[in-house]
């Protein structure tokens, strides 16, 4: 039955692809994306790829910090485990105080209120992507077997130039000059430790993070992941539909890709952002799959790094890239 469904899905996909449009005038689109990148006071990398053609990129081979974009990748790894019968969406998971992460983690409120939070793998996937919940993704990473298991998934699927090296709590702690300790699962203890890091140490840690190749991707690498997802080569048909549906519900930063997509387009995406230190935002990202009114799909990865611009201008650069891409679709 699974093979039959897969064949049906492939047939439908092929039919839709044949009828749908694509990105026209690659050089013209590349010029528009280059103009967006050149105007911004920071590094900008963008790639876009329709279902049939080669990617169209600006700074496509440079490395950019993923930040919370890694949650979409971890969600895909979890769904791949479901496809392999190594995990189930309805599998129960209990999140306790010791399992919490840092910063944005709505789950922590439930744990603080009840002492624990009883949920499922499927709910953790949804929370990680839709709410960008750090506790949700860190528990998924742990259930999968650590960051190396997520990287192994990418390697098996032939996705290159995309690295997953740490979960959120280890990454975020190191970014501010701390080595993760179990006691930091208490938000108050983490906040106290963060306040105690000398500015010189914070400066050095942030500079090291900006140069670190761990937990980074090139726009080409990220787009290859998205292209594999949207063409049904990454996950089973059921898991592909599930992940795309979850990504359309993303609630964070609607002023990025969503703001730039043309009317009638559907946006399935995942955002990612670093903090700002000494006036520099190391990472402002949005990646996803744009679906045109005729059903055609375009993968897009937009990264803004080392920017001194305010958040609204960083978001505007990403929105402008989406606007240029959807305007180029014929």
Residue 33 predicted with pLDDT over 80: yes
Contacts of 181 (CB under 8 A, 6+ apart): 193
The verdict on residue 78 lying in a domain is yes
Q: Give the model confidence (pLDDT) of 64-111 as tens digits.
A: 999 999 999 999 999 999 999 999 999 999 999 999 999 999 999 999
Please give the Cα distance from 66 to 49 (Å, whole number). 19
Q: Give the model confidence (pLDDT) of 104-149 as tens digits.
A: 999 999 999 999 999 999 999 999 999 999 999 999 999 999 999 9
CATH of the domain at 257: 3.40.710.10
The verdict on residue 58 lying in a domain is yes
Contacts of 50 (CB under 8 A, 6+ apart): 21, 22, 23, 296, 297, 298, 299, 329
Q: What is the pLDDT of residue 18?
A: 59
Q: What is the pLDDT of residue 15?
A: 41
Q: What is the pLDDT of residue 19?
A: 79
The verdict on residue 2 lying in a domain is no
Q: What is the pLDDT of residue 13?
A: 46
Per-residue b/e over 7-28, b at no fewer than 16 CB within 10 Å? eebeeebeeebeebbbbeebee
Q: Give the model confidence (pLDDT) of 151-170 as tens digits.
A: 999 999 999 999 999 999 99
Sign of CA dihedral 206, 215, 174, 256: positive
The verdict on residue 8 lying in a domain is no
The verdict on residue 11 lying in a domain is no
Q: What is the pLDDT of residue 306?
A: 98
What pTM value is reported for the model?
0.93
Q: Are strands 56-58 and 116-120 parallel, antiparallel or unpaired?
A: unpaired
146 touches 81 (CB < 8 A): no
Mean residue pLDDT across the chain: 94
Q: Give the model confidence (pLDDT) of 264-281 as tens digits.
A: 999 999 999 999 999 999
The verdict on residue 295 lying in a domain is yes
The total of structural domains in the chain comes to 1
* Tokens of residue 259, six digits: 């703001």
User: Which residue range(s) make up the domain with 85?
Assistant: 23-327
């Amino acid at each position: 039955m699974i093979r039959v469904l897969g064949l049906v899905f492939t047939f439908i996909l092929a039919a839709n692809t044949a009828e749908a449009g694509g990105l026209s005038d690659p050089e013209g689109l590349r010029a528009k994306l280059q103009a967006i990148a050149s105007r911004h006071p920071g590094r900008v990398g963008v790639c876009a790829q329709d279902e049939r053609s080669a990617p169209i990129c600006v700074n496509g081979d440079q490395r950019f910090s993923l930040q919370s974009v890694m949650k979409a990748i971890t969600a895909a790894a979890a769904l791949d485990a479901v496809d392999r019968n190594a995990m189930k969406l309805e599998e129960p998971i209990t999140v306790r105080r010791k399992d919490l992460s840092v910063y944005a983690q709505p789950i922590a409120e439930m744990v603080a209120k009840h002492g624990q939070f009883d949920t499922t793998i499927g709910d953790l996937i949804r929370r990680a992507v839709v709410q960008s919940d750090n506790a949700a993704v860190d528990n998924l990473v742990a259930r999968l077997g650590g960051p190396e298991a997520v990287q192994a998934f990418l390697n098996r699927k032939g996705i290159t130039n995309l690295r997953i090296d740490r979960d959120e709590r280890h990454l975020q702690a190191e970014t501010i000059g701390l080595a993760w300790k179990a006691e930091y699962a208490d938000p108050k203890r983490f906040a106290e430790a963060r306040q105690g890091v000398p500015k010189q140490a914070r400066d050095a840690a942030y500079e090291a993070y900006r140069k670190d190749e761990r937990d980074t991707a090139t726009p080409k690498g990220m787009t290859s992941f998205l292209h594999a997802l949207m063409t049904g080569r990454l996950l089973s048909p059921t898991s592909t539909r599930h992940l795309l549906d979850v990504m359309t519900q993303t609630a964070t930063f609607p002023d990025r890709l969503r703001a730039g997509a043309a009317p009638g387009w559907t946006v399935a995406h995942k955002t990612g952002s670093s903090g700002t230190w000494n006036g520099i935002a190391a990472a402002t990202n949005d990646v996803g799959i744009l679906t045109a009114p005729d059903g055609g799909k375009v993968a897009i990865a937009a990264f803004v790094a080392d920017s001194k611009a305010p958040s609204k201008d960083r978001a505007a650069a990403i929105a402008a890239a989406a606007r240029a891409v959807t305007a180029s679709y014929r």
